[in-house]
Structure 1
Amino acid sequence: MNFSERQAFIESSLARDGHVSVPALAKACEVAPETARRDLAKLEKMGLVRRVHGGAIPPVHNSDDTTGYTANISEVVGPAFREEAAYSDKAHLHVHEKSAIARAAMELIPPGPCSITIDSGTTTAALAAALRQSSPNKGATYVTNSMPVAEILSGGGLTGVNLVGGNLRPYTRAIVGESAARHFYSLRADIAFIAANGVTPSHGFSTPDPTEAAVKSAIARSAKKTVALVDSSKIGRDFLVTFAQLTTVDAIVTDAHAPSDFLDTCFQYNIKVVTA
């Protein structure tokens, strides 16, 4: 492929998946990783992509795009979303809803030995706690980038718990970086559970930090079936970086306070909705 063809491939990948990785780009375009990185650097200068660890994500635009999403940076990172709460603070928010979501999410796990990828987040940690308590599938293999999730699962005596390598982000106790993202992109688990700081039909699932977004994007595409765990406080909120579109997931587990218009949109996209 020449540069123009690679540019078209990158833009279509970003539109479809919300992220493109250097290894995937190099393989698909049959170029060296160094060439892929140079392409992304050039496109970033052109304002067409935003580079993150291990690849690129769509840029933040200053006007409405064709989906109707206004990505003005002052709006995306407005007063309500400017600061990300630390893991220790978020763990005490909406505890009842997160526990209910976790119990409902367990019903979606395939019976028998299976492989499960689990994203970082306090809601996915609630899922880990529910799994630890009930141990519905002792033969399962778990892969996560969350230190709390790994600690909860292994502390309950569950075997087959794998914590990916990479760089620790102390603020959220999540493992991030290119090696972590690459690890998840290489997997094809039976089911993946993701969490998000916010979700809207137009902006998809989003988070404030680009390094976490890159790994979350990989986890969302690491399994045959992807399930998003989001309590109703996350719905209708936009953060800086989109890591997956609404249609990326197969199912969403939320609580009884989820807005009806959001649920209607999910049904229109044939996304299974479980209300806990």
Structure 2
Amino acid sequence: MTDAEILPAELRRDRIRGRLDSRGYVRVADIARDFAVSSVTARTDLDALVEAGVARRVHGGAVAAGAVPESPVEQSVQTGMESKRAIGRRAASLVDSGQSVFLDVGSTALAVAEALVERTELHDVVVITNGLSTALALEPGLPRLTVYVTGGALRPLQHSLVNPMGQQLIGSVHADVAILGCNGVDVEAGITNVNLPEAEIKRAMVEASDRVVITADASKLGRVTLGHVAVLSDVETIVTDAAADVELVAELRQAGARVELAGDL
């Protein structure tokens, strides 16, 4: 039986598009398995969706063409506030006195910053951030916390500092742990971010740290966006919330990732 006899291409592609709409990402391997077609046919289906303007190819599959638009941090912080606070507290609990920390940008980074400030027993902690909002959120923790801002070109929306010059400080130091946000966590695609300039800074932080902790609410699991940050094996811990899909969590753990659910403290 040929691929074409199993399911008409038009119907198969409609179903693949449905997956893109619901998850934001599809894998070649999953299409081949679930629709009983060859990898060549699966790639041809994705190419057809790209030509139709509904998908964008990435390594191992495709993402929805309009997946995960960037929004202002002031807007994002109001979405899923309690989950982000729980994730922030969980991630902050992984920091010990005397350690150095990379902390990036975004609404979940703000929650981590606030949780670090709340931990009044912490002392001699150095935090290096490329986020102006993150730095201001850490200010009440001075002088128990020492805060360095990377410098660089200012981006709107997230109030982040990126290249040129954004990596100069990062390249000259080494941190015990990097606590980073993202827009996507996927078994095959790894950790991704919606914009390339910030993904570049996140990659530099990964390379310059001993441990990597990824903070990602449930909506980020199983998604892939444009900018690659890290492969899953680079990550020590993924902190998500109790609403995380149990199957996605199981897949990540089976792939070797340590996944912690906020609220389990």
The structure in which a higher percent of residues are strand is 2
Question: Hey, what's the Cα distance between the residues in 1 that align with 2:185 and 2:80?
Answer: 17
1:202 counterpart SS class: coil
Alignment of structure 1 residues 41-60 onto 2, 5 Å? none
Question: Hey, what's the Cα distance between the residues in 1 that align with 2:72 and 2:171?
Answer: 27
Question: Hey, what's the Cα distance between the residues in 1 that align with 2:222 and 2:182?
Answer: 12
Q: Which has the higher contact order (CA 8 A, sep 6+)?
A: 1
1:29-81 Cα offsets, whole Å, 9 max, x none, are xxxxxxxxxxxxxxxxxxxxxxxxxxxxxxxx97675xxx213xxx4433x43
1:148 aligns with 2:105: no
2:187 alignment partner AA: P
Aligned to 1:135: 120
Summarize the Cα distance change of 1:174–1:63 in structure 2 as closer, same or farther, 3 Å threshold: closer
Question: Hey, what's the Cα distance between the residues in 2 that align with 1:256 and 1:94?
Answer: 12
1:160 counterpart SS class: strand
**Maintained 8 Å contact 2:56/2:65:** no
1:228-258 Cα offsets, whole Å, 9 max, x none, are 0111011122211122122221001111111
2:214 counterpart SS class: strand
Question: Hey, what's the Cα distance between the residues in 2 that align with 1:188 and 1:270?
Answer: 25
Paired-residue identity, %: 29
1:215 counterpart SS class: helix
1:189 aligns with 2:189: no
Of 132, 137, 146, which residue of structure 2 is paired with 1:160? 146
2:61 counterpart SS class: coil
Alignment of structure 1 residues 16-165 onto 2, 5 Å? 65=59, 69-71=60-62, 75-78=63-66, 80-81=67-68, 83-110=69-96, 112-158=97-143, 159-165=145-151
Question: Hey, what's the Cα distance between the residues in 2 that align with 1:95 and 1:156?
Answer: 21
C-alpha RMSD of the superposition = 2.0
Summarize the Cα distance change of 1:64–1:113 in structure 2 as closer, same or farther, 3 Å threshold: closer
Residue 120 of structure 1, CA deviation = 1.0
Q: Which structure's CA Rg is the greater one? A: 2
**Maintained 8 Å contact 1:182/1:218:** no
Aligned to 1:238: 224
1:248 aligns with 2:248: no
Aligned to 1:266: 252
Question: Hey, what's the Cα distance between the residues in 2 that align with 1:186 and 1:203?
Answer: 29
